[in-house]
Amino acid sequence: MCCSNNITEKDLQPGIRDKSYLERIKGMQFFDPHIHMVSRTTDDYEAMVDAGIVAVIEPAFWVGQPRTGIDTFRDYYSSLIGWERFRASQFGIKHYCTIGLNSREANNEPLAEQVMELLPLFVYKEGVVGVGEIGFDDQTPAEEKYYRLQLELAKEAGLPVQIHTPHRDKKRGTTRSMDIAVEHGLDPGMVIVDHNNEETMKEVLDRGFWAGFTIYPFTKMGNERMADIVKQVGTERIMINSAADWGISDPLAVPKTAALMKDMGIREEDIRKVTYQNAMDAFAQSGQIDEADFTGVKNIDQNLKFGKNTVLRGGQQPRTDKSSIIIR
Amino acid sequence: MLTYQAEVLRTLISDVIQQNLNAGLWQWMNEKIAPVGDIRQFNIAFVSVPRKTGKNILRVTDEQNAAIREAGAGLDITSWTVDRLSRIWLVSSLHHKDEEKYFQTIENLFLSAEVNELVALYSALSVLHYPERWTKRCAEGIRSSIGAALNAVACNNPYPAAYLDEPAWNQMVLKAIFTDNPLDEIIGIDERANADLAKTLSDYAHERWAAGRFLNPLVWRCVGKFINTGIFPDIEKLAASGHAYNREAAALACRDSAYAPAQELLNKNPNMKSAIASGQLSWKALAEKMKNYVLQ
């Protein structure tokens, strides 16, 4: 989400749309392990597949305003495993999700109790690759209570955990999240600590957790800083995501960062680790990701593509020419 | 209405699923549907089926396939996966003495279903108990914008033809046309054709033509029997089309019609008439051709 930045006249000018970076990452495949597609348009899906994104993970999150009843929670979780999965498939993108009660809404305890009863019905579903995103926001006792309960749920279901680290008092919140996970007997190798920065990453990596980095303008990481980190500390257990949502964010953050890393002289195999393979390895521990799924999706595309446009095209979305003023 | 034999289907499905699972899994499934079982365990079992069974295509013998087609008014399960039929077996075998409890349990599965679960649940409509209670749920599936879910309701499913009233049936056929689902896979497509649907399809054809868009010639399959003075000009237009598939559809529609001018129109085209007589031209053959047809 965005912030109260000091905006200048320059910041309000329209940018130049230079897509030449796509040439430099042609043929590479990307996996964005944190993106909230529910807040994005189908145009984004089209741009993502053009940039080489083959799979995404959509963590359950705060949708921008508080939910007032259990049914809206259920409908939201259902949309992650139903409608969004279908929408992504229309573009040949494999859509996974993590299911959980986010930290902000953990503070509505009567509702949180009902959500906890609902969660077991969802975490065992196909394509649910973890419990997430959970953790701390305000770091209240209620947040801690439901964080702990969900760690137990993840353990019972044998699923990885995707941890959201707080914006405020971040460093202490991150340490506390890891302490509690260890206290509950979770293997750090099953826990992805997200939204890291230069200040938090050392402890996360030293303790054996996976470190997610979110490339998100103004509030989280910039991708030049990200490339520097990879140059300095390497690629082990590091993964990059966009966390794109309803704020000013970028669903192409992962492929763009890959292009920038290439420009900065990072080897392609290292780029692949942090933009694809590490996220795959971490979340595949759920048993719910089969890499063949991606090639599978691609093959299906090919089979269905009899031509640009076919009758009975099997659910694929036809392309439109966005630069044309004629709409047919 | 087109009917099927639910009880026979349930028995056949039980046989198929038992032979596709190992003994341990078969026992696990049976424990989950026990009358004393707890619903939470049943729910988790339904959800976690693919983790247990895998997702291979079912092994079905030719005899079983023939028996299922017979009892299921043409139902064909040979391309289904083990997890899909396992879920169908679970919901059709769940203890059902208490009608309300049974109905609510299955309804709740629909409410939180992901895509593959929806597909299994809609494919299970014909073998659920209390069949007349699922018509609203079936109509809800027809409203679905999730391609696979709609396909599971409309195609290769004997339930809609047997239980939907005419408005709901017509809505389903129209939705299938709008979403490019294969009409020849709709069970009961010919038996449940009706005058109201024919009129709607004629209106639809006019809209497509006005917009300069392609119209799938297979839609005329639902119109032939109801050609009258109002619809006949459409058939004449189709018969004069520059596109061979349109002309073939016009000939087939005329063959289905008892309306004298339509029969005369077909008589004017002896080649088509003999192709129809020899079986070379049929709605099925045209459907096969359309499956590989690329819009120019």
For chain B, the domains span 1-184, 193-296
User: How many alpha carbons fall within 13 Å on the CB side of residue B276?
Assistant: 18
Residue of A nearest to B287 (CA): A312
For domain A27-288, the CATH class is alpha beta
Chain segment A103-112, per-residue pLDDT in tens? 999 999 999 9
Task: Confirm if A78 and A38 have CB atoms less than 8 A apart.
Answer: no
The token pair that represents A140 in the structure block = 């209240």
Task: Confirm if A51 and A109 have CB atoms less than 8 A apart.
Answer: no
The token pair that represents B149 in the structure block = 């879910």
Pairs of residues, one from chain A and one from chain B, whose beta carbons lie less than 8 Å apart:
72
Alpha carbon distance A252, A250 (integer Å): 5
User: Do B112 and A122 make contact, defined as CB atoms within 8 angstroms?
Assistant: yes
pLDDT attached to residue B121: 98
Of B147, B182, B290, the CB nearest to A86: B147
The token pair that represents A63 in the structure block = 């949708």
DSSP B58: P
Task: Confirm if A105 and A69 have CB atoms less than 8 A apart.
Answer: no
Task: Confirm if A135 and A166 have CB atoms less than 8 A apart.
Answer: yes
Of B117, B146, B216, the CB nearest to A86: B146
Distance separating the N- and C-terminal Cα atoms of chain B = 39
User: Do B114 and A78 make contact, defined as CB atoms within 8 angstroms?
Assistant: yes
Total length of chain B: 296
In this predicted structure, the answer to whether residue A308 has a pLDDT above a threshold of 90 is no
Give the residues of chain B that fall short of pLDDT 70: 1, 294-296
Which residues in chain B have Cβ-Cβ distances shorter than 8 Å to A287? 51
Alpha carbon distance B7, B17 (integer Å): 15
Mark out chain A residues that contact chain B at CB-CB < 8 A: 74, 77-78, 81-83, 85-86, 90, 118, 120-122, 124-127, 287, 306-315
Query: What is the interface pTM, i.e. ipTM, of the complex?
Result: 0.73
Which of B114, B183, B184, B208 is the best residue to mutate to test the A interface, defined by the most A CB atoms within 10 Å of its own CB? B114
Radius of gyration of chain B from its Cα atoms, rounded to whole angstroms: 22
In this predicted structure, the answer to whether residue A101 has a pLDDT above a threshold of 80 is yes
CA distance B52 to chain A (A): 11
User: Do A124 and B44 make contact, defined as CB atoms within 8 angstroms?
Assistant: yes
Mean pLDDT is lowest, of A3-17, A208-222, B219-233, for A3-17
Task: Confirm if B264 and B236 have CB atoms less than 8 A apart.
Answer: no
User: Do A312 and B114 make contact, defined as CB atoms within 8 angstroms?
Assistant: no
Residue A199's alpha-carbon distances to A171, A195, A205, in angstroms, are 7, 11, 12
What backbone phi and psi angles, to 5 degrees, belong to B152? Answer: -70, -30
The token pair that represents B242 in the structure block = 């520059």
pLDDT attached to residue A306: 32
Task: Confirm if A228 and A201 have CB atoms less than 8 A apart.
Answer: no
The token pair that represents B174 in the structure block = 């129209």
pLDDT interval class at A6 (50, 70, 90):
low
Which residues in chain B have Cβ-Cβ distances shorter than 8 Å to A313? 180
The token pair that represents B292 in the structure block = 């590989």
Q: Give burial (CB, 10 Å; 0-12/13-18/19+) of B250.
A: buried
User: Do B216 and A127 make contact, defined as CB atoms within 8 angstroms?
Assistant: no
Of A81, A120, A310, the CB nearest to B114: A81
In this predicted structure, the answer to whether residue A224 has a pLDDT above a threshold of 90 is yes
Task: Confirm if B64 and B12 have CB atoms less than 8 A apart.
Answer: yes
The token pair that represents A160 in the structure block = 């990885």
User: Do B180 and A311 make contact, defined as CB atoms within 8 angstroms?
Assistant: yes
Of A78, A311, A312, the CB nearest to B112: A78
